[in-house]
Amino acid sequence: MRALAHVSDLHIGRDEATDEAARQLCAALLAADLDAVLLTGDVTHRGRTAELRRFRELFRPLLATGRVLLVPGNHDRMGDDVRRAFMDGERVAVARLPGLHAIRVDSTAPHNRSLVTGHGRLTAGDLARVERAVAEAAPGALVAVMLHHHVMPLPEEDLAERLASFFGWPFADELRLGAALLARLRGRCDLVLHGHRHVASGAAIGEARRPLRVLNAGSSTALRQVRVLEHEAGEVVRVQWLALPGEHAPALAPAVA
């Protein structure tokens, strides 16, 4: 049995409580002895080099295991633009860990310089690259696509997002090619893992034979909990939440979790 954790939206540097939650999260993930930790962007709060340095300090023991996979989020493109610390210019990259075929997708874009231009970008070329990367998976591996932005419409979470939707600005929208991505992945992929929206959510689409779980981790430091997925021979066998001690926000755990 293998296990992976899905972590997102740490927002290191937002405040002391956030950084402390990240430190506790790192300790909990290490203690859980996972095969992989998939971190789907917004690692830093303002894309500052100092925040990146802080993340590397806080997560050093976990990063040292070589089991952490990362993609950038829109917040990582602000300030000093630290995206290249997570993906070095490529839009799609494959990572293989025991039992896992992960496809890392950079859904950020140069317009992600401010809070109101945080929406993502996915191109037809990205979709073609993802499709090729999925086809490279070894039989029996769990296939996971990880990216920052949401691929399906999700409810607005705050006033700024409600206003953006009201005025028709793209800021709160899902990825324009999100549905097209899911159509290509159905039946050939097991997980789409994302963040960006800070309230966790989950859905399963496609056939019962090989369901495609689309999971939003939410903000792991704000929720103080992360999903852990146990899998075997390419199938998810159990999904549960790993919670930090003390107060934590409800993670919203629907049936699919």
Cβ at position 216, least distance to Fe ion in Å: 11
Pick between residue 42 and residue 190 the one whose CB is nearest to Fe ion: 42
Cβ at position 9, least distance to Fe ion in Å: 4
Pick between residue 139 and residue 250 the one whose CB is nearest to Fe ion: 250
Q: Which single residue brings its beta carbon nearest to Fe ion?
A: 42
Pick between residue 42 and residue 51 the one whose CB is nearest to Fe ion: 42
Cβ at position 71, least distance to Fe ion in Å: 11
Pick between residue 87 and residue 100 the one whose CB is nearest to Fe ion: 87
**Cα–Cα distance measured from residue 246 to residue 126, given in angstroms and rounded to the nearest whole number:** 41
DSSP 12: B
Cβ at position 208, least distance to Fe ion in Å: 32
Cβ at position 233, least distance to Fe ion in Å: 33
Pick between residue 13 and residue 73 the one whose CB is nearest to Fe ion: 73
Handedness of CA 157, 80, 130, 215 (dihedral sign): negative
Pick between residue 44 and residue 142 the one whose CB is nearest to Fe ion: 44
The CA-atom distances, in angstroms, between 144 and each of 76, 105, 213, 227 are 22, 11, 9, 14
Cβ at position 210, least distance to Fe ion in Å: 29
- Which residues of this chain interact with Fe ion, rule CB under 5 A? 9, 42, 73-74, 196
List, in order, residues 6 or more apart from 228 with CB less than 8 Å away: 3, 4, 5, 32, 34, 239, 240, 241, 242
Strand boundaries in the chain, DSSP class E:
2-7, 36-40, 68-71, 92-97, 100-105, 142-146, 191-194, 201-205, 212-216, 225-232, 235-243
| Pairing label, strands 142-146, 2-7 | unpaired
Q: Are 180 and 123 in contact (CB under 8 A)?
A: no
